[in-house]
């Protein structure tokens, strides 16, 4: 729901300001219609229904994978496409992957989103409406800003959305913001906003390779970005998750693991998350499981904590790097 429009409409109707809080409480609990908001007068509900759409986003298509991952293609009121994902885990976690932009302007070579035409930044309400869509069916527990776009290029809207996520059931400590290394955003995030977690998409242990994979590195090279991450850690006292996409023959050699380990000091400030490559139109192959295990072992031998990400939703193009707002999506993958 467009919360700014809601506030303006409530004021125009001469209603008390607490009506906005009432509406938000219903939305955060999963309400899907004005009719459900029974502590609002009937006349007011009818007036609001005529003036304020229940969501800023229209559902275009959806798909569900065999592992329970669900992806939804939305469209904004002005026709911009975006996707969001709900990942379901056997231990009960329900993690949302949220988009902060329609498309992405940063054109990382391995990422399908970067091949889209960039639309625009999303508003805080458009970000929240992604979460509210899934909340109508079940209560999410975690959120990651790892969908479409660079969140730190739209930090005001992202932080505004983060402030409201606990009302939906997602604590700040269970919210992570991922960045390709947008330096001004990291520096600002170190000093303001709720106590969320920070993830850095690094994907290479040196500037030469990273610039080939991620053009943003020409503007903000590794040393500057890691210095900003260390400052974030000193202020927040939370580890930075270093995301590292495993590309066969590109960045997965033993000596590259040693190079990466040498960069990540102090050790307690960083945790490396190795990401198996998910197929896109890019000319890469994923590293073998043996290569991933060897890379992880080399990091851990040098006291760098490392994990391997569990791939979710690959069969419906919902995994890391695969979001591209393509139509149509299958209604259900695998039955």
- Relative orientation angle of helices 3-12 and 124-135, to the nearest 10 degrees: 100
Residues in the chain: 335
From 108, 111, 162, 320, active-site residue:
320
Clarify whether 83 is annotated catalytic: yes
* DSSP 8-state code for residue 45: H
Contact 142, 170 (CB under 8 A): yes
From 47, 70, 83, 243, active-site residue:
83
* DSSP 8-state code for residue 314: G
C-alpha–C-alpha distance, residues 249 and 253, integer Å? 7
Clarify whether 320 is annotated catalytic: yes
Interacting residues of 145 by C-beta distance below 8 A, sequence separation 6+: 98, 100, 151, 158, 175, 176, 177, 178
C-alpha–C-alpha distance, residues 94 and 88, integer Å? 5
Angle at 281 between CA 104 and CA 210, to 5 degrees: 60
Positions marked active-site: 83, 320
């Amino acid at each position: 729901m467009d919360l700014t429009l809601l506030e303006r409409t409530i004021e125009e109707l001469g209603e008390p300001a607490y009506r906005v809080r009432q509406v938000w409480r219903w939305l955060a609990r999963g309400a899907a219609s004005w009719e459900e908001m029974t502590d609002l007068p009937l006349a007011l509900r009818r007036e609001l229904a005529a003036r304020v759409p229940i969501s800023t986003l229209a559902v275009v298509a959806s798909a569900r994978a065999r592992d329970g991952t669900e992806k939804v293609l939305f469209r904004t009121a002005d026709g911009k496409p975006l996707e969001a994902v709900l990942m379901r885990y056997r231990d009960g976690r329900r993690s949302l992957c949220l988009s902060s932009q329609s498309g992405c302007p940063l054109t990382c070579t391995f990422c399908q989103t970067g091949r889209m035409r960039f639309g625009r930044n999303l508003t805080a309400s458009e970000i929240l409406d992604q979460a509210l869509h899934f909340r109508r069916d079940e209560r999410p527990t975690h959120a990651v800003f790892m969908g479409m776009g660079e969140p730190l290029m739209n930090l005001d809207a992202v932080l505004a959305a983060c402030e409201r996520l606990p009302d939906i059931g997602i604590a700040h400590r269970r919210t992570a913001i991922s960045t390709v290394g947008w330096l001004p955003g990291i520096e600002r995030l170190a000093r303001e906003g709720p106590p969320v977690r920070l993830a850095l998409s690094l994907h290479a242990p040196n500037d030469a390779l990273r610039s080939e994979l991620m053009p943003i590195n020409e503007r903000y090279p590794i040393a500057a970005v890691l210095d900003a991450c260390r400052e974030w850690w000193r202020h927040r006292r939370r580890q930075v998750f270093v995301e590292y996409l495993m590309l066969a023959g590109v960045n997965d050699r033993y000596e590259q693991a040693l190079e990466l380990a040498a960069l990540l000091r102090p050790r307690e400030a960083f945790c490396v998350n190795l990401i198996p490559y998910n197929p896109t139109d890019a000319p890469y192959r994923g590293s073998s499981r043996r290569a991933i295990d060897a890379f992880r072992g080399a990091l851990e031998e040098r006291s760098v904590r490392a994990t391997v990400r569990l791939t979710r939703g690959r069969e419906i193009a919902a995994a890391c790097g695969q979001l591209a707002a393509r139509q149509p999506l299958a209604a259900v993958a695998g039955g």
